[in-house]
Structure 1
Amino acid sequence: MGKRTDGYALWGRAVHRGGIGHTAAAFALLDGVDRVGREHGDDVLSSLASSTRASLLRQAGHHRHAATYDGRALLLVGVASPGAPRRRMADEGQWRQAALLDALVGLAADHLGRLRLPHAARLLDRARDHADPDDGGWLAGRRPRLRIEWVSAELAMYGGDAAKAVGHAEAGCRLAELGGTPERHRVKTILIAAAAAATAGDSRHAAELASDVTRRAADAGLTPLQWASLALRNGLDPRDEQVTEELARTRSELISRGVPFDNA
């Protein structure tokens, strides 16, 4: 059991490294996580490793490749029957619940990135069916529900429904404001809100929120979110040379850390 426990701690380290943009290091750690999972027949641990690898690939724009890993993650933990998913998942533990929801939401985001909007919507519906609104814990409760709101907001943006996008962004903000939410998730939620505001035509508010994300992400060392906020600001005002230069610098820094951008 000791080595399996170490595997979950290793997964946490991989998530942290990925969150600050050290992607090559995160991939190496995930190799170790997956190895521990295979050695101990721990499908949940292997599923978490696979979906986390997918998120790092998706972050760099490789949605098709990410879908392969998210699909593997989902197969490893399975999906409960629609009749009573929450009861079954409560019996199987928080880690399995977290792994299942990570895989479902990840797959939804993969399909969204490939403009397969109906597929993304169905996967988000399945994730909502399995999420427990009464779970106030972080790992399998608020964290996956927050991710569902993120991707739901993005789906609404892609579908041109600005009001729905703002609604999901606001729901995400309410979740993120609760105590115990990591800074990375708070900042990502503000970024989603900025994008939703831009979709709704409120460019001024979007720029203010995006600038706040840039500052907070820089302060916390969250380079991927810093880059994403700069990309949004660049889209809002391509004439801002300082943002353009900072965007290029941040992208180069992420590439040096192993982020596999296309044409890197």
Structure 2
Amino acid sequence: MGHTAAAFAILESVVRSARPAGDTALESLALSTRASLLRQAGRHVEAAGVDGHALAVVGCARPGPTAEHRAAILDGLVGLAADHLGQLHLGATRRLLGRARELADDDDPGWMAGRRPRLRIEWVTAELAMYAGDGPGAATHADAAVALCRAADTPVRHVVKTMLISAAAAASAGDVRTAVERAAEVTERARAEGLLPLEWAALALRHGLDPADAEVGAGLSDARAQLVRHGVPFVGDATGGG
């Protein structure tokens, strides 16, 4: 069983355990994590269904009573916003991000329900700006994400993902040289940390910026093949499912 397939199985087990126990926050967070894996594979429609379920489990009319509930609500909203962005539903993405910003606690210095969801909001807002052709806006939100990563307890994966968003924002703003340099740095950092999905994404960005770079093209193909072997259900792959 590939790593991703194993992750799906673990998450399903968490959902089955949390539901009868009435732990709605845990159930919702597990569903949102499942949706993120689907989204990573380009399955935005499927991911939207799962994120919608995650939100239905906890509701989003007001902030949750605990940090876990607040984190679950924000994860569902931001995940659903990203799902809609992947389907080019920019208006829906904007509305969901607006709701997430209303519920996010700017005064919470903690990671789980404070800086982490705010960081994810900045990521998707930067991506929305890129899709909308707003290079300066993308750079502004990428910079905000970088600032949120400065705390020492920020996980490496989130730091590297933020570096990737920053590289893409530079490309969106027309600064190709900076984008290439940052994407190359992300490639190396992701490879060193064993973050294959982010390595693949950085290589994809570099390939888009310079399709003639044969070394990057080969690296991109190899990274994708590794992800498929690990069970990532890319759209159109025979290994899809999950």
TM-score tier (shorter) = over 0.9
Superposed CA offset, 1:37-59 (max 9, x none): 12312111111111110000000
Residues in 2 aligned to 1:208 and 1:161: alpha-carbon distance in whole angstroms: 21
Which residue number in structure 1 is paired with residue 159 of structure 2?
A: 186
* Aligned match for 2:184, one of 169, 189, 211: 211
Residues in 2 aligned to 1:210 and 1:30: alpha-carbon distance in whole angstroms: 31
Q: Which amino acid in structure 2 is aligned with residue 63 of structure 1?
A: H
* Number of residue equivalences: 236
* Aligned match for 1:138, one of 82, 88, 111: 111
Of 22-31 and 212-221, more deviation after overlay is shown by: 22-31
Give yes or no for the alignment of 1:108 onto 2:81.
yes
Superposed CA offset, 1:67-97 (max 9, x none): 000000000001134xxx4xxx3xx110000
Which residue number in structure 2 is paired with residue 50 of structure 1?
A: 31
* Aligned match for 1:71, one of 37, 49, 52: 52
Which residue number in structure 2 is paired with residue 247 of structure 1?
A: 220
Superposed CA offset, 1:10-58 (max 9, x none): xxxxxxxxxxx93111101101111111231211111111111000000
Which residue number in structure 2 is paired with residue 173 of structure 1?
A: 146
Gaps of 5+ in 2: 238-242
In structure 2, the residue corresponding to 1:132 is in which secondary structure? coil
Question: Could you list the runs of 4 or more consecutive aligned residues of structure 1 that deviate by over 4 angstroms after TM superposition?
Answer: none
Which residue number in structure 2 is paired with residue 24 of structure 1?
A: 5
Residues in 2 aligned to 1:216 and 1:36: alpha-carbon distance in whole angstroms: 36
- Map 1:143-158 to 2 at 5 A: 143-158=116-131
Residues in 2 aligned to 1:93 and 1:136: alpha-carbon distance in whole angstroms: 15
Q: Which amino acid in structure 2 is aligned with residue 133 of structure 1?
A: D
Which residue number in structure 2 is paired with residue 14 of structure 1?
A: none
* Aligned match for 2:43, one of 43, 62, 68: 62
Residues in 1 aligned to 2:3 and 2:109: alpha-carbon distance in whole angstroms: 30
User: What is the TM-score when the length of structure 2 is the normalising length?
Assistant: 0.96
In structure 1, the residue corresponding to 2:133 is in which secondary structure? coil
Give yes or no for the alignment of 1:127 onto 2:100.
yes
Of 23-32 and 141-150, more deviation after overlay is shown by: 23-32
User: What is the TM-score when the length of structure 1 is the normalising length?
Assistant: 0.88
Q: RMSD in angstroms over aligned alpha carbons?
A: 1.0
Q: Which amino acid in structure 1 is aligned with residue 113 of structure 2?
A: A
Superposed CA offset, 1:225-251 (max 9, x none): 000000000001111111100100010
In structure 1, the residue corresponding to 2:206 is in which secondary structure? helix
Which residue number in structure 1 is paired with residue 200 of structure 2?
A: 227
Which residue number in structure 1 is paired with residue 240 of structure 2?
A: none
